[in-house]
Amino acid sequence: VLASKGIERKTLLRPSQVVQEVLGVASSRVVVLSGPSFAREVCLRYPTAVVAASTSLEAAQRVQQWFTTEYFRVYTSQDVVGTELGGALKNVIAIAAGVADGLGFGQNTRAALIARGLVEISRLGERLGAQAITFWGLAGVGDLVLTCTGDLSRNRQVGLRLGRGERLEEILSGMQMVAEGVNTVYSAVALAEKYQVEMPITEAVYRVLVEGIQPRVAVLELMGRRLKEEFGGL
């Protein structure tokens, strides 16, 4: 059984948990496949690398064998929680990166949002039982970079248009596919509050999307926070 990305808004369950519940199977029967992989590029046979994660290494290795080709490389992992959270939480950061680009800021700003976004994602992940190292791999950094810089990313597109001054309702009404980050931001903020984790970028996205503050104000608030050690909060 393979599961997709996200965190269910009402129950805060991850997809693999939903799959286990609905199908009534053990976690060792569920494998999560995640990583930087725009479907269109996989179809074009561009070299792609992903992670197959399962509580059962044997199950992950089976998926690794099944899915590996000369252009699709699969690594195994036993950190299902981290692999799923990386895929879900990165969508919120991608909205922030899109907003910065839409406001006309440069690549320094985007790179800073990616690096600091990664810190806060991994901070929450660890509290939820993930291994920090997973966020520094394909399902973390890899997927985050793809989604924050790739124009095929719907979450980035939502941010871009917000940054250019469009309203959220307007943007969403014209989209055929779901920009998952717009839903995930509710779950992420709820989890951050519950586990008392500081997530300034995620909270800024929430304030823009849900509370309707101006994107430029949100960026200035982020830059004006108290000066600190880079990993002081970890």
Note the residues at the interface with its own copies (CB under 8 A): 35-38, 41-42, 44, 46-49, 51, 64-65, 68, 70-71, 73-77, 100, 105-112, 114-116, 118-119, 122, 133-138, 140-143, 145-146, 149-150, 152, 219-220, 222-224, 227-231, 234
- Which residue carries 């074009």 as its tokens? 44
The least distance separating its own copies from the CB of residue 213, rounded to whole angstroms, comes to 17
**Least CB distance from residue 40 to its own copies, whole Å?**
8
In the complex, least distance from residue 231 CB atom to its own copies, rounded to whole angstroms: 6
181 Cβ neighbours under 8 A, 6+ residues apart: 91, 92, 94, 95, 155, 158, 205
Phi-psi region at 14: left, alpha or beta (left = phi > 0; alpha = psi -120 to 50) = beta
Query: Of the listed 5, 10, 90, 194, which one is catalytic?
Result: 90
What's the rounded Cα separation, in Å, for the pair 167 and 11?
28
CB of 103 to its own copies, least distance (A): 9
Per-residue DSSP letter, 131:
-
CB closer to its own copies, 13 vs 112? 112
Whose Cβ is closer to its own copies: residue 11's or residue 65's?
65
Instruction: Compute how many other C-beta atoms are within 10 angstroms of the C-beta atom of residue 63.
Output: 19
For its own copies, give the closer residue by CB, 8 or 41. Answer: 41
Is the Cβ of residue 181 or residue 200 nearer to its own copies in the bound state?
200
Catalytic annotation present for 194: no
For residue 135, which amino acid is it? F
Q: Is 138 exposed, middle or buried (0-12, 13-18, 19+ CB in 10 A)?
A: buried
Instruction: For residue 188, give every residue at least 6 positions away whose Cβ sits within 8 Å of its Cβ, in sequence order, or none.
Output: 7, 88, 89, 92, 124, 199, 202, 206
Query: Would you name the residues annotated as active-site residues?
Result: 90
